[in-house]
Chains A and B, each alone.
Chain A
Amino acid sequence: MIYKILLIISWIYVIFGVIGIFRFNNMYARLLTGSKIDTAASITIIAALIIRAGISQFSIKLLLILLFLMVTNPISNHVLARSAYLNGIEVKKEGKG
């Protein structure tokens, strides 16, 4: 029962992630969807699956995937933002977007 609520929350995250890609206009705002919203969606989904699987070998592997995703997703977005900043897009100072 609990995992259903978590899954519904993850739907909201995924939908916001997709909306976020097209709504933000400059590159760095769009990176937010890749790093934050996507990691939050994956945390919610895998937490829901762990609760659904209960205590078993299955949930240990799910925990491993959860830790792996929580580490690599922000790092890969950091590498992306760094390469975009170093030789591409300058950070515009205007407030919106």
Chain B
Amino acid sequence: MFLLITMVLIVVAMVITSIRMIIGPTVWDRLLALNLISAKTILLLTLYGSYTDNIHVLDVSIAYGIIGFLTITLLSLFISRGGRQK
């Protein structure tokens, strides 16, 4: 029961973070919101895996963690190199 409340709380936090992603004045606010959402997705997957006692969901969350980390690193590298207009 507690896990369900935590999952609902994390989903609500992700929705609110996506609002910050839409408002965000600078590109880095959007990147920060993306980073937050990917971190929360990992937590959500871990919670769901342990709620249904299914060990394979944990592998999915590890894979998503790697992809999320790569996304942030490459996107900020792309932006710090000036993006498309160079």
Binding site for B on A (CB under 8 A): 3-4, 7-8, 10-11, 14-15, 17-18, 21-22, 27, 30-31, 33-34, 38-39, 41-42, 45-46, 49, 52-53, 57-58, 61-62, 64-65, 68-69, 72-73, 75-77, 79-80, 82-84, 86-89
Contact = CB atoms under 8 A, between A and B. Distances in A.
Nearest to A53: B50
Interface in B59-78: 59, 61-62, 65-66, 68-69, 72-73, 76-77
B2 to A, nearest CB: 5
A33 B29 CA distance: 12
A72 to B, nearest CB: 4
A62 B50 contact: yes
A88 B73 CA distance: 17
A48 B6 CA distance: 11
Top 8 closest A-B pairs, CB basis? A83-B80, A83-B76, A76-B72, A84-B28, A72-B69, A61-B58, A49-B50, A18-B13
Interface of B: 2-3, 5-6, 9-10, 12-13, 16-17, 20, 26-29, 31-33, 35-36, 39-40, 42-43, 46-47, 50, 53, 55, 58-59, 61-62, 65-66, 68-69, 72-73, 76-77, 79-80, 82
A34 B36 contact: yes
A69 B29 CA distance: 21
Contact of A42 (B16, B39, B50, B72): B39
Given A62-B50, A65-B46, A18 B16 contact: yes
B46 A45 contact: yes
B58 A62 contact: yes
A7 B3 contact: yes
